């Protein structure tokens, strides 16, 4: 029993020393609540996005689309956000880093 306690204590100390975490620091982004709430919602069509938000500043050509497992993904950039489409439907809209 006397050998068990020091061995257990040594293992716990070794595990505690090995258990550490890296810290990831990201630049803070101040998002305007109205901008976040005003982004296109998933499922909106390209036509609906353009009629609601106007013409995008930049339209990136579709990537993929070679087969059903890789549908075409298109990105439109607006001043406050970028919109990602699969075929012609919004899949995600993200705030742009200003």
pTM passes above 0.75 = no
- pLDDT one-digit tens code per residue, 8-29: 666 656 555 555 556 655 554 5
**Residue 73: pLDDT above 60?**
yes
Digit-coded pLDDT (tens) for 49-68: 999 999 999 999 999 988 88
pLDDT of residue 80: 93
Cα–Cα distance, 4 to 55 (Å, whole number): 72
**Per-residue b/e over 54-63, b at no fewer than 16 CB within 10 Å?**
eebeeeeeee
Query: Hey, how many other C-beta atoms are within 10 angstroms of the C-beta on 39?
Result: 19
Largest interatomic CA distance in the chain: 78
């Amino acid at each position: 029993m006397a050998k068990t306690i020091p061995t257990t204590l040594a293992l716990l100390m070794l595990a505690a020393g090995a258990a550490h975490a890296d810290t990831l620091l990201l630049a803070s982004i101040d998002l305007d609540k109205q901008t976040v709430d005003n982004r296109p919602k998933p499922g909106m069509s390209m036509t609906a996005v353009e009629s609601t938000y106007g013409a995008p500043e930049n339209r990136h050509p579709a990537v993929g689309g070679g087969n059903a497992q890789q549908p075409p993904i298109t990105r439109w950039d607006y001043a406050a956000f970028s919109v990602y489409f699969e075929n012609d439907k919004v899949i995600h809209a993200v705030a742009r880093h200003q």
